Amino acid sequence: MRRLKLEFVVLFALMLLQSAFSQEERPRIAVLDFQSIGCDSSLGLAASEILRTELGSLGIYRIIERAQLMKVMQEQSLQLSGTVDELAVVEIGKLLGAKMVVVGSLVRTGKTFTLNSRFIDVETAEVQKSQNIRGNSEDEISNMCSSLAKVISGPSGDSGGLVKDDALGRIWLVQESDYLGIWTRRGKSNVFDAIWLLIKDGLHAELTINEPAGKTIEIKRTDRGKALGSYRGTLATNERVYSGTVDWSKQVSWTSNVYFDSPAISSGVGATWIVREGDYIGIWRRIGQTNNFKATYFLTKNIVAAELVVESNENDRVRIKRSSKTGVLGFYQGTFTGSLKHLSGNVDWSSSVVWSAEVFY
């Protein structure tokens, strides 16, 4: 009996040592407070804190706490946010034992928020990645930070050669001036069926998705802080589609397609749901790693539709032809980030239009 207890103690000690070594192996990362430009200073502070939390939840990095950052910055007579010389950032990173330091800003122009960021490698003093992510309101800052965390955690550098078919994903959510686009891929082809919705027409709600029980699911909906009711649905045989009814109206039924952040993930509550509900189409976006979603609904009668063809995708760059019943409108040109999760660019039919997209699987 004593021998059995001794073996248990030794095994437990080895598990603790393994956990400690695992923690030690994870690189340390520091996120400086984001500078706020054209918006309240608290938003930049909030964005940087959300980003720290999102990075921590991925389990890839050890996050340097803000209190440690403040102490070192004060010792170096520097501010935690604002314009900081890259050499000073590198020195701060070395003092903190960080592998990477993230610096950036949150910029508001009109109704659009842009999260600008640079990821500086402390050892080489080089900018390893840079990324900007756009949103349409303060409510989207959390999702923007979640997307940025995944970009930081993805592979770095240019992949070179061709963008693989997997990079085209299953669906793209696209920000294009005053419009939100849903681009749905036809199978494994290079053709997408695209629709555009005027952002200002969106109706907003909050959702909480309970973990699926077998093939059934319940989703609670809140409109402007007031509980509306629940969606109840059943999972189809392809593991990607739910359909069902709502308990606030006998006339309303709904069906949804679930999409994920990575081709390696195919179960769970997903990252984005595209929902058909009566006369509406809904876009449900997951908030971080929680079971809470931000939902936006648009009337289907206001949809603008077109067909898109990805004609080239070399060296992380894409050229996409847009056609409608009246003919070819023109081409999108864009570039993937190193993670092949985000891309952005311009169009050849208007010098004032820029676009950015996030790819889901």
pLDDT at 211: 75
pLDDT per residue as tens digits for the range 309-335: 887 666 678 889 998 878 889 999 999
Which among 230, 231, 223 has a CA at the least distance from the CA of 202? Answer: 223
For residue 328, the cross-strand partners are 323
Supply the mean pLDDT for the chain: 83
Tell me, what's the pLDDT at 165?
58
**pLDDT range class, residue 142, cuts 50, 70, 90:** confident
Beta strands in 190-279, from DSSP E residues, in sequence order: 191-198, 203-209, 216-223, 226-235, 241-246, 249-259, 272-277
Q: Report angle CA 323, 327, 329 to the nearest 5 degrees.
A: 55
Q: Is residue 202 helix, strand or coil? A: coil
All structural domains of the chain, each given as residue ranges with its CATH number in brackets, are 24-153 (3.40.50.10070), 165-198+303-360 (2.40.128), 199-302 (no CATH)
- Secondary structure of residue 263 in the 3-state scheme: coil
Return the pLDDT at 11: 43
- 208-233 pLDDT, tens digit per residue, is 998 777 789 999 999 988 999 999 99
In the prediction, which pLDDT does 197 show?
A: 97
Among the ranges 152-156, 185-189, 250-254, 324-328, which has the highest mean pLDDT value?
Answer: 250-254
Tens digit of pLDDT for each residue in 81-127? 545 677 788 888 888 899 999 998 999 988 788 888 888 888 888 87
- Of the pLDDT bands very low, low, confident and very high (cuts 50, 70, 90), residue 16 is very low
As beta bridge partners, residue 145 has none
What's the DSSP call for residue 301?
G
Distance CA 308, CA 324 (A): 9
Q: Are 339 and 325 in contact (CB under 8 A)?
A: no
**What is the pLDDT confidence band of residue 134, given thresholds at 50, 70 and 90?**
confident
